[in-house]
Each structure stands twice: as structure tokens, then as C-alpha cells.
Amino acid sequence: MASFVDVPTTKPAPTRPQVSGLSEAEAQQRLRHYGPNAVETAVEEPWWRVLLRQFRSLIVAVLAGAAAFSFAFQDQVEGYAILAVIGLNAGIGFWLEWNAQASMAALRRLGVSTARVLRDGQVRAVPADQVTVGDVLLVEAGEVVAADAELLEAQQLQVNESALTGESMPVTKQLAPPAPNAPLAEQTNRLFKGTAVVNGTGRALVTGVGAGTQLGTIAELVQQARHTATPLEAKLNRLAHQLVLITLALAVLFVGLGLLKGESAYQLLKTAIVLAVAAIPEGMSIVATLALAYGMLRLARRNVLVKRLAAVETLGSTDVIFTDKTGTLTQNQMAVHTAWLPEGRVDFAPATIEIDASPLLRTEAYQHLLRVAVLCNNATFAPERADAALGDPLEVALLSLAHQSPDFDVPGTQAGAGRLAEQPFNSDTRLMATLHRHDHGRGWVAVKGAAEEVLRYCPQQQTADGPQPLVPAEQTEWLQRAQELAAQGLRTLALAYRVLPEAEAPSRWAEELTWLGLIAFLDPPRPEVVPALDACRRAGIRVIMVTGDHPATALTIARQVHLATDAQATAVTGGELPDLLQHPNGAGRRRLLHAAVFARVSPAQKLDLVSLYQQQGHVVAMTGDGVNDAPALKKADIGVAMGLRGTQVAAEAAALVLSDDSFASIVAAVAQGRVIFTNIRRFVLYLVSCNLSEILVVVAAGLLGHGAGLLPLQILFLNLLTDVFPALALGVGRGSSRVMHHPPRDPQDPIMRPGDWRLATAYAALMPLALLGSLYIGWQYFELSAAVSNNVLFYGLAAAQLLHVFNMAGVGTSLRHNDVLRNGYVWLALGLCTGLLLLTYYLPLLRGLLDVQALPASALLLIGAPAGAVLLLGQLLGWLLSHRQRVA
């Protein structure tokens, strides 16, 4: 039988300056040359640029033009009123965006850290951004690597590089150089900035800082990934263009016809200004901003930080979600998945160990297995502080398994079997062994490692009848079992033990081991992921895993969370992607567009995948927590970063940050996004129909020879107060509980579809028809003056628009089953608007500005009757359209 020997893990003594590190003077000189060890993940936008962005709107440009004309015609009050509208909208948008930027600045401040380096022969703690090329960096378990470096010493050093590579298992570091052009995950003699040391200690010579690190390279990809406008931004801009074109066409037509008739150019231009003010729903952008902000607050209560308001709606139109595996679908924490003993196999639940699930867990062999798991272990773990565990993730998982076994005393086992010697794990022997005191002065050897290596030292195995011979055929079966587990993407360890006649380390103490079996590990799925993915599936959203991890591991997780339901499903690997992306035709194209799992994918390839799906017309969301996810997070239509386990680079690149790292929060965000878009479509229909009614009133009044019919300030009052508050109430409605039970809408679907324009025009026509009919009665029977007629038109239109809000529940929805009727915010808005209208009548200042006259009692009938008619006729119109759709 062979035995294993110590393998050195330290280089020969290095020469200066590596022994004593840089001098302080030399370090400062290099800092000036190489710059600070900082990665620029985002440039904080100055407040004035955020403010200026609020004015980049075609609607703002038209309103500014209307204000300029008002000032030119000496209508100072109207000009200032229009400017106030522009300023109010800009102020709200600025406040919300600046607050979101301040929240991210606070997250960045939390990331300030220190590093330990050798300076002038002394160990010093310096700010991480002051580490420079040539420094000797000291690292130990629990620390984050401050810079890229080449190892000088390594003692059982293991580093979690999942933030860069997506690989969930820590990398065992060693001094031997890798093969030329080895991928990052195989460069075991190097440390990388931003990765976490999970076990051991080491010293390394810093070779790269700041932008010269691997992390800096990825951050540069983030900056290169261009952000595209969200669907909502694009749709609102398109709607604004449509409204502006309508406005300009009507104004030109009206002025042209007037000039042909010989009317005053001055009066025609005044009417054109009124048309511009009437045609543009000044409150639309305010209501959209506030509706999005309210949705943002709702999401904040669900642990979702929204950095850009329009991102909320974008999630609602998402039909593809690319998700990372490690830390997003999984817990980023290894757990025991399977124990395979000589007498049978036990599969454990992902989150807890069900001790009564199998009688095998009460056998002597299982107790021996737990003893080896606890003693041949250098990790620290306490059940009450599981998040503070240190060490190799597999060793932490073994301790967790032992602590969850009620018949096993972990502290007692550790205290009663003091460690006398240790053979550390290394890449040559692929084993770890420890020697402990046993009863009656004997020694007890605990061994764990690769199955093929441990089996070499095991002539026997533990059974219910005690140790029994392990024949070659059985050894072959155990190797096949280990390969079977590995094919499922599981990490495996073999465990064995030996009782020595005395507690001393013999020269060949690894001989005559007794085989205990295999333990398989998996980074388990997060418990909330399966229901969240099921909800996505019901909502018609494809979820695709994109990871840097091994294909078998990725497929195992995909099957557990129901992402890959086909037993024959395979993962597309990063090695296959270049050819498939270069020739995306036929079977290759189908494979790219129907794959559920992409594995061993690089950051640049994630960008390519996002671009490919966007080119196919999909609205793509990308979730992730690592530095390697950041470029794709920025390129995607909506990037969703994890806040707890996520890196600062990922959080900077994303539009949403999940402060609880819960995939289920994404579902809540998707639902809220759908509700918001439905609400936006509803209040836009309301505002457009109201504004079209004002246009028709102005045009009809002009054609009848009554000038504009309404004053610009009266229209501004309607647009900013009596229209805005009901629209805002529609915008913050809670929506249907079945919003996630239908597929995403077509991403090309505009806010106002052709049918919506027809409906808005029909609704808009009802109001002037009812009002003009009322005015005709007033002229015929009550001899109304021009001033009183103007007031009847103003108040009548306001009342009609207020009641018109109940027509917004949906085509064919009766008043009895009207969810708008049950919206408390709508009633609050109606009460507020009614109060404001009363103020315009009774407050002298407002009476003067709006040219309000004392109204006769008959005016109440002339105002109220058309408003009621608009509501009833609107309900009839909705019923007729619904009946027509059912017949069709």
C-alpha cells in the first residue's frame, strides 16, 4: 500500500524587495505612476446635468414655444403659467432621479475597504485604493483580494472567484504556473481583485491595480455596453411626437383657413397658442413620473431599489430573463446533497436534513462518516451564526450536516478527539488526513478526498456487520457511483478512517483504511426560486440560465428549479457559442433561441447573447450578482443586481437592485411593471380624450365665430388640475390580481393603439357635442351672454371630464363592476377637483385670472346635464364596442 507525503506549498525565499516589500517612498512614487487602485464603475452625474435632462422633451419644446408667443403678445400671466408647468415637471423628475443617484452613492461608500501589505519590512493596513504594483499583499480567510497579484506563498489557500468566473466552488491556489493561455479559472498561481479568500493564508506580489486588473477589464466592458431607451421611454416619446404633429397640423390648418377668410393674424395666432396648450396634455409626463415613483415606493417595500423610474415598466414588458446561477438561483453556499454508504444511498432535502427519512442515518457507518466529516475539517461553523462560517465551502457543509444530526455531538466529538497531526490537501495527493486521540491510548485517522485516491488505501469497507473486505469489483462500482454523481454536476468527497494501536503518527499511517462512502455536494437552489419561476412561466416569460459554471452543475440546478424540464436537455457551452453566433442559421439558430442553459460563458459572450435576443425583438432582463455579470446587466433592457451578495460593479450597472437577493422579488417587480403600464395606458387614454375634447371645443367655437371658446389659462387649469388629479388616481391603482396570468404584451405595442385612438376620439366627441347642445339650449331659452357662455363651457367641460374618469375601467365594464369606482384615490381626486373649481368661483384672484362671471341658477343645469350625459353615453359606447368585439 502506498502512503502520501508532505508536499511543500511555499516557494524558495524570495529576494528583495519581495521580502520586505516596497519602501513607503517607492510606494508613493508608484502610486503617482500607476494611479489609485480603483475601478471606475460609474461617474456620478452632476446635479445640473440631471436637471437639464428633464427639459429634453418635444412636449417641453412646444410648450416653451407657446410661452414665448404669449410673452411676445404681452400675455405675461399665460407665459409664466406655461413656464411653471415646465418647471414643475422638471422639478419632480429631477428630485426622483437625484434621490436614486444618492442611494447608489451611499452603496458605494459602504464598499470602502483596507488591505494588508508589507511596507519597509512591516505589515501595514492601508486603504485598498493605495495598494500599488510591486506591493507584497498579505491575505487570509475572510478577506477580499485588493489587487491582481502573483503568489509568493500559499498555505492551504482557497479563493472564491465566483464574482469573476461564475464558478461556485473555491479555487485551491498553488505556486506552480498554469499552462500557457490558461483561462482565468485555471490560473491557480494568481489572485484577482474583488475575489474572496475562504481558507488559508498567502502572500502575493501585486502585478495589476485599478483598470489594469481583471475586474477593471470587465468594468471597461460595462462602460462600452450602451444603454438603450426603455420601452416606456420610447413609447412616451412616440406619443409626444404624435401629439405635437396633431397640434402643428391643427394650428397650421386653423391659421391658414382664418387667413383665407381675412381674419386678424394676431387673433389667429392667439387661437393657435390656445390650440397648442389644449392639444398637449401638460400633465401627462407629471402623472407618468408620479405613477412610476409610486410603483417604485411599492417595490421598495418589497426590497427592490429602483435606480431609473422607467425601469419599473420595462420589467412589465419583459419576455426573456437571463439569470446567473450562483447566488441568484442558488444560495452560493454548498450543502450536502447525497450520502452514499455501503448499505445504500440517502438524498437530503435542499434546505434541511430529514433525519427520520432513512434508517441508514442511524447506522454505525453513518456515525463514523459524521466523525470523519467533523474531525478532518478546518472550517469554523456555528448553527446560530451560519452566515459567519469560514473555510472551504465543502467543509462548512460537512459541519452543517453534522450539526443537523440530533444523535451526533459535534462539540463533544471535537473536544474528545484532539488533533495530533495533519496532512493538508494538495493537488498531488488529492487527500486530506488528520490523526486524533482515540480511547485507550489509541489513534484514529480521518481521511477525505477524491474517490479514486481514497479507494487506493481501502482494503475494507464499513457495513452493518462491521468492516468487511472491499474487493476490486466493488471498488469499480464505487468509482462508477462517483462518476455518476459528478455527471449530475455534484462535487464528491470520499471518506474513510483507520484505528491505530497507538496515538502516534507512523511512517505509513494512510494504509489499511476502512471505506465509509461518498458525500456529494451541491450549491442548492434558493427556496423561493421554484415558485418564482413557475409564476414567470404562467406569465409567458422565458427564464434562461447563463453561467460560467460547469455544464453538468448548471443542468442539475436547472432541472431542480424546473428550468430544464426535458430529461434530454443539454447546455450550450461557451466553447460552442462563437460558431453558433457567427452562423446562427438552421439547427444552430434554433438551439441558440431555445436553449434553457448556457454554461462556461464569458462576460463578453453574455453581452453577445443579450444582443442576439434583443435583435429578435425580445425585451431582455438580466439578473446577476458578480462582476462578470455587469456588462450584460448594463446592455440588457433591464438589469437586476443582487444587493446583499452582489458586487458594487454589478449594482452600478443595473437598473434595479434587489436588497434581499430574492428572485421572488423579480416576480413582484414584473407584476408591478405590468400594473403600471396598464395604469399608464388607462390614464393616457383619459388625458388624450380630455385634450381632444378641448381641441374640438376650440375648433368648433372658432368655426361658429366665437373665437377660441376657452381662454389659454382656463385650458391650463383644466389640464393641470381637473385632468391631472383623476389621471394620477388612475395611475396609482393597484391593478388586477390576475395581472401575471397572461403573456407579456407585444413590446412594439404603443401606449395608444389604433383602437385606443378611435375610442379616445369617440369619447372626446361626446363632450363638445353635449356641451354645444347645452349651450344651444342656453342661447335659445336663457339668452346667455358671451361671458356666461364661456363660463358654462369651462365648468361644463370640467364636470364632464371629471365624470368621464369612470369610463376608464375598460370597454364593456359596467358601473356596477367598475374597479375605478372602487378606487379610493379617484374619489379623493374628484373631491379635490370639485373644491378647486369652487375656489375659482369664490376666490377673487382666481375669478379675475380665469374671467369667471356670476352665473345664474339655470347655468347649473346647463353644466350638470352634459356631464351626466357624457358618463351615460360613454358607458353605452363601451357596451356597444364590447358587444361588437364579442360578435366578431
pLDDT for residue 3: 41
Residue-wise pLDDT for 259-302, tens only, equals 887 777 777 777 777 777 666 776 676 777 778 778 888 888 88
Q: Cell digits for 26?
A: 517607492
What residue type is assigned to position 497 of the chain?
Y
Q: Work out the average pLDDT over 526-544.
A: 91
Q: Which positions ≥6 away from 109 have C-beta within 8 Å?
A: none
Helix (H) or strand (E) holding 304: strand 304-306
Q: Work out the average pLDDT over 787-791.
A: 86
Band of pLDDT at residue 9, cut at 50, 70 and 90 = very low
Q: Work out the average pLDDT over 580-594.
A: 78
If you average pLDDT over each of 63-77, 81-95, 720-734, which comes out highest?
Answer: 720-734
DSSP for 750-814, written as a single string: -SS-HHHHHHHHHHHHHHHHHHHHHHHHIIIII---HHHHHHHHHHHHHHHHHHHGGGGG-TT--
Band of pLDDT at residue 12, cut at 50, 70 and 90 = very low
Q: Cell digits for 749?
A: 405595442
> Can you give the three-state secondary structure of 838-868, one letter per residue?
HHHHHCHHHHHHHCCCCCCCHHHHHHHHHHH
**pLDDT higher than 90, residue 379:** no
Q: Report d(CA 736, CA 823) in Å as an integer.
A: 12
182: alpha, beta or left, given left = phi > 0 and alpha = psi -120 to 50? Answer: beta
If you average pLDDT over each of 328-332, 513-517, 528-532, 580-584, which comes out highest?
Answer: 513-517
Task: Count other Cβ atoms within 10 Å, centred on residue 747.
Answer: 17
Residue 273 phi/psi, 5-degree rounding, is -65, -40
What is the average pLDDT score of the chain? 81
What residue type is assigned to position 523 of the chain?
D
Q: Which positions ≥6 away from 19 have C-beta within 8 Å?
A: 13, 121
Q: Work out the average pLDDT over 67-92.
A: 78
Share of the chain above pLDDT 90, in %: 21
pLDDT for residue 97: 67
Task: Count other Cβ atoms within 10 Å, centred on residue 317.
Answer: 24
What residue type is assigned to position 166 of the chain?
G
Q: Report d(CA 80, CA 84) in Å as an integer.
A: 6
pLDDT for residue 883: 61
| Alpha carbon separation from 484 to 159, 347, 478, 491 (Å, rounded) | 27, 14, 10, 11
Q: Cell digits for 434?
A: 488528520
pLDDT for residue 351: 45
Q: Where are the alpha helices (DSSP H) in 616-753?
A: 630-635, 648-653, 663-703, 712-717, 724-731
If you average pLDDT over each of 80-89, 443-452, 722-731, which comes out highest?
Answer: 443-452
Q: Cell digits for 731?
A: 395611475
Band of pLDDT at residue 810, cut at 50, 70 and 90 = low
443 touches 437 (CB < 8 A): yes
pLDDT for residue 272: 75
Q: Work out the average pLDDT over 410-426.
A: 86
**pLDDT higher than 70, residue 576:** yes
Q: Work out the average pLDDT over 339-345.
A: 91
DSSP for 386-433, written as a single string: GGG-BS-HHHHHHHHHHHT-TT--HHHHHHHS-EEEEE---TTT-EEE
pLDDT for residue 308: 72
Residue 114 phi/psi, 5-degree rounding, is -120, 165
Band of pLDDT at residue 14, cut at 50, 70 and 90 = very low
Band of pLDDT at residue 13, cut at 50, 70 and 90 = very low
pLDDT for residue 322: 93
Residue-wise pLDDT for 80-131, tens only, equals 877 887 887 788 777 766 765 665 555 445 444 788 999 988 888 898 889 9
pLDDT for residue 4: 36
| Alpha carbon separation from 457 to 4, 55, 471, 508, 813 (Å, rounded) | 10, 76, 12, 11, 78
| Alpha carbon separation from 348 to 273, 328, 519, 792 (Å, rounded) | 74, 21, 11, 77
Which position has the higher pLDDT, 831 or 819? 831
> Which one of the listed residues 75, 148, 319, 324 is annotated catalytic?
324
148 touches 197 (CB < 8 A): no
Q: Which positions ≥6 away from 334 have C-beta within 8 Å?
A: 168, 169, 393, 394, 396, 397, 491, 521, 522, 523
Give bridge partners of residue 421 from the DSSP assignment: 435
DSSP state of 439: G
**pLDDT higher than 70, residue 40:** no
pLDDT for residue 205: 94
pLDDT for residue 190: 92
Dihedral sign, Cα of residue 734, residue 735, residue 740, residue 746: negative
Check if 347 is active-site.
no
Residue-wise pLDDT for 758-778, tens only, equals 888 899 899 989 988 888 888
Q: Work out the average pLDDT over 556-575.
A: 84
Band of pLDDT at residue 876, cut at 50, 70 and 90 = confident
**pLDDT higher than 90, residue 203:** yes
pLDDT for residue 672: 84
Which position has the higher pLDDT, 182 or 753? 753
Give bridge partners of residue 193 from the DSSP assignment: none
**pLDDT higher than 80, residue 565:** no
**pLDDT higher than 80, residue 870:** yes
Q: Report d(CA 557, CA 488) in Å as an integer.
A: 9
Band of pLDDT at residue 321, cut at 50, 70 and 90 = very high
**pLDDT higher than 50, residue 78:** yes
Q: Which of 855, 873, 724, 869 is nearest to 794 (CA)?
A: 855
Q: Work out the average pLDDT over 573-596.
A: 82
Q: Work out the average pLDDT over 425-440.
A: 82
**pLDDT higher than 90, residue 372:** yes
Give CB contacts under 8 A, 24+ apart, made by 20-26.
20/118, 20/120, 20/121, 21/117, 21/118, 21/119, 21/120, 21/121, 21/135, 21/136, 22/117, 22/118, 22/119, 22/132, 22/134, 22/135, 22/136, 23/119, 23/120, 24/119, 24/120, 26/134
Q: Where are the alpha helices (DSSP H) in 225-363?
A: 231-260, 265-279, 283-301, 310-316
Domains and CATH numbers, the chain: 230-297+673-887 (1.20.1110.10), 313-331+526-668 (3.40.50.1000), 335-522 (3.40.1110.10)
What residue type is assigned to position 168 of the chain?
S
Q: Report d(CA 443, CA 503) in Å as an integer.
A: 4
Q: Report d(CA 194, CA 198) in Å as an integer.
A: 13
| Alpha carbon separation from 552 to 326, 483, 721 (Å, rounded) | 14, 12, 60
Give the alpha-carbon dihedral of 364, 366, 372, 375, to 10 degrees: -90
Residue-wise pLDDT for 157-167, tens only, equals 888 887 677 66
Task: Count other Cβ atoms within 10 Å, centred on residue 290.
Answer: 20
670 touches 318 (CB < 8 A): yes
Give bridge partners of residue 506 from the DSSP assignment: none
Task: Count other Cβ atoms within 10 Å, centred on residue 311.
Answer: 27
pLDDT for residue 85: 76
Q: Is 55 helix (H, G, I), strand (E, B) or coil?
A: coil
Which position has the higher pLDDT, 417 or 386? 417
744 touches 637 (CB < 8 A): no
> Can you give the three-state secondary structure of 639-650, one letter per residue?
EEEECCCCCHHH
pLDDT for residue 81: 77
